[in-house]
């Protein structure tokens, strides 16, 4: 049952993307995205409860579903559903009917990335997923192409990318300590990471510093200004 729910969560946004790009019809694209958000919302509701029996691994351990990733997916599902409802009225007031199908294709693509990224069982691939979500959301921020929207998009991509770059340095140190200890870049027991890497404590300390710095940077007042303009 869990496998079918996950497939539904991943396939629904992809179908919405295809419908938007093939039909290029604003109302149909709007309906497809809203339908996908409803389907994913209903499918993701039982996932956190089913994940308590896990963790579960898929595709030769490259994907993992544990309690943490399941709750992240639930949060994404709720936000995707509510945002899809709100964005209908908002985007209809922006007078961008001819390009609206692009918006909903990007919207569904962003949701797809946010759903699949927490299940990555490799921290580097997870970082790539986060960066992809940043790129897609930048186009969403500047979609209206008004001066303030373009300004917000530039602020957003520069500031968030700087924070992600700091986090990447932390990931490099993290992987170095992890690989020295386990001789693999996959981490099926993430909860024991810092406990088991005492022998490589310096690498983990550096990882904590850079990842925390990246997180604090993205929560700075400059990032808030970019979101406020958006």
Please tell me the distance from the alpha carbon of residue 181 to that of residue 194, in angstroms, as a whole number.
Answer: 11
Residue-range domain boundaries for the chain? 1-121, 123-230
Please tell me the distance from the alpha carbon of residue 163 to that of residue 103, in angstroms, as a whole number.
Answer: 26
Q: How many CA atoms lie within 13 A of 37 on its CB side?
A: 26
Q: Can you tell me the mean pLDDT for 100-104?
A: 91
Q: Tell me, what's the pLDDT at 211?
A: 52
Res. 25: pLDDT tops 50: yes
Alpha-carbon 38 to chain mean position: 18
- For 189, other C-beta atoms within 10 Å of its C-beta total 10
pTM (global) more than 0.75? yes
Of 168 and 12, the one with more pLDDT: 12
Q: Can you tell me the mean pLDDT for 69-96?
A: 90
Q: Can you tell me the mean pLDDT for 58-66?
A: 81
Q: What is the dihedral of CA 218, 224, 226, 228, to 10 degrees?
A: 150
Average pLDDT, the chain: 78
Q: What percent of the chain has pLDDT over 70?
A: 75
């Amino acid at each position: 049952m869990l496998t079918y729910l996950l497939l539904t969560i991943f396939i629904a946004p992809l179908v919405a993307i295809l419908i938007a790009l093939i039909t290029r019809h604003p109302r149909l694209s709007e309906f497809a995205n809203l339908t996908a958000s409803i389907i994913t919302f209903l499918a993701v509701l039982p996932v956190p409860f089913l994940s308590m029996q896990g963790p579960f691994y898929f595709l030769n351990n490259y994907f993992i579903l544990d309690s943490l990733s399941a709750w992240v997916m639930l949060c994404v599902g709720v936000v995707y559903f509510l945002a899809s409802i709100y964005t209908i009225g908002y985007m209809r007031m922006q007078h961008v009917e001819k390009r609206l199908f692009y918006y909903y294709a990007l919207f569904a693509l962003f949701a797809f990335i946010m759903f699949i990224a927490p299940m990555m069982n490799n921290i580097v691939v997870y970082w790539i997923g986060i960066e992809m979500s940043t790129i897609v959301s930048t186009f969403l921020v500047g979609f209206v192409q008004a001066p303030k929207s373009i300004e917000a998009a530039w602020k957003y991509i520069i500031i968030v990318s700087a924070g992600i770059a700091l986090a990447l340095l932390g990931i490099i140190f993290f992987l170095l300590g992890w690989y020295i200890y386990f001789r693999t870049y996959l981490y099926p027991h993430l909860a024991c990471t810092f406990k088991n890497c005492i022998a490589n404590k310096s690498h983990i300390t550096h990882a904590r510093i850079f990842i925390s710095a990246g997180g604090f940077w993205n929560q700075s007042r400059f990032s808030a200004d970019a979101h406020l303009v958006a």
